Amino acid sequence: MILGLSTVMVFLMTNIILQIENLSFTYPNRHQALTDISFQMEKGEKVFFHGSNGAGKTTLFQCINGLLKIKQGIVRINNRIVKSETERMKLISIVFQNAEDQIIAGSVFDEVAFGPVNRGLPKEDVVKRVEHALQIMNIEHLRNKPPHFLSYGEKKRVTIASVLSMEQEIIILDEPTAGLDGQQKEELVEILNDLANKGCTLLISTHESDFSLRCADRIIVLDQGKLLAEGKAEEIFSRYEIIKKASLVKPIIMEIYEKLLEYSYIKPHGLPKDVKEFSNLLQNGKTT
Ligand SMILES: Nc1ncnc2c1ncn2[C@@H]1O[C@H](COP(=O)(O)OP(=O)(O)OP(=O)(O)O)[C@@H](O)[C@H]1O
Ligand SMILES: [Mg+2]
């Protein structure tokens, strides 16, 4: 009874929106892709998932979102167990790792409108949402093009826009930076920060550690379908055994920062997260 009350208190105090409990998943060919995964997320949190190819990131995302049927484990949204896959798909949007798997409509506009139209929103609301999403993703000029003729990175931006137009509280992005050029990646960081600041909860997979260092509130590392580690980027990327086991790459900024410290070019400061913070550190942190 006391435990129950304290659990409720923790929930109220921390604003937890998503809880995954003891999730395991086996594909029909008997390959066990996930084993006993548990974690939780607060509203507005950005959690980045790392792990080598085949570690289970995409499988985990598809189990959470309802594309794969869970037989073992629980997904709780806003402290309510949501068993139905269809309901989870309605509550959690996903940007697929491979844009080709997601695109179905004949034009970019229709693709981005697909979700809101399916929800039965009035036409003016649909148009408003689509225009806004196209603008955020910088693809207004592509609105009338058939998505299948677009470049890889353009398709990726279309699929992100089609998820933004749904305006969900929880969004999963499976390797969103894959195929994006430098400028688009920069803009994606701003977009994700903006979404999180507005209270959107984001689950993001990536192999790019500098992207995570810059943007993640927390990192979860998967290894062979199991949860290997969980923590702040700085902490995860300073643990050699995790880096080695999960085939991670230490962020370049962190490598350089540590070398500068080692050779006493700078005094210890907080780890800079991006080039701007790094250059401030070099300006202010000189030893001579
Ligand atoms: N449909 C399937 N049937 C059987 N096994 C599958 C299926 N899809 C994926 N797997 C296997 O499940 C494991 C996890 O794959 P998953 O795609 O979730 O990994 P991932 O972490 O997303 O990898 P990547 O970084 O390459 O995207 C892999 O061993 C993969 O071969
Ligand atoms: Mg994957």
User: Ligand 1: which of 57, 69, 101 to mutate, judged by most atoms within 8 Å of the beta carbon?
Assistant: 57
Q: Where in the chain does DSSP place strands (E)? A: 16-26, 32-42, 46-50, 72-77, 80-81, 92-95, 170-174, 201-205, 218-223, 226-231
206: Cβ below 6 Å to ligand 1? Answer: no
Residue bearing the CA closest to ligand 1, atom 10: 33
Cα 143 to middle of ligand 1, angstroms: 33
CB neighbourhood size of 234 (10 A): 15
pLDDT tens per residue, range 153-200: 999 999 999 999 999 999 999 999 988 898 889 989 999 999 999 899
Give which of 21, 26, 32, 23 is closest to 224, Cα–Cα. Answer: 32
Using CA atoms, how far apart are residues 192 and 181, in angstroms rounded to an integer?
16
pLDDT tens per residue, range 232-256: 999 999 999 999 999 999 999 999 9
Is the pLDDT at 288 greater than 50? The verdict is no
Cα 51 to middle of ligand 2, angstroms: 9
User: Ligand 1: which of 59, 61, 172 to mutate, judged by most atoms within 8 Å of the beta carbon?
Assistant: 59
User: 248: which 2 tokens?
Assistant: 């991670």
Domains and CATH numbers, the chain: 2-250 (3.40.50.300)
DSSP classification of residue 271: P
User: Ligand 1: which of 32, 35, 52, 53 to mutate, judged by most atoms within 8 Å of the beta carbon?
Assistant: 53
The whole-number pLDDT of residue 9 equals 56
Give which of 46, 50, 54, 47 is closest to 249, Cα–Cα. Answer: 50
Q: How confident is the model at residue 8 (pLDDT cuts 50, 70, 90)?
A: low
pTM: 0.92
Ligand 1 atom index nearest CA of 29: 4
| Chain centroid to CA 104 | 23
User: 31: which 2 tokens?
Assistant: 């390959």
pLDDT tens per residue, range 194-216: 999 989 999 999 999 999 999 99
pLDDT tens per residue, range 28-58: 999 999 999 999 999 999 999 999 999 999 9
Ligand 1 atom index nearest CA of 52: 25
Side by side, the strands of the sheet bearing 32-42 are 32-42, 16-26, 72-77, 80-81
Cα 55 to middle of ligand 2, angstroms: 8
Give phi and psi for 198, each to the nearest 5.
Answer: -85, 5
Tokens 């826009």 correspond to: 161
Give which of 164, 138, 173, 159 is closest to 46, Cα–Cα. Answer: 173
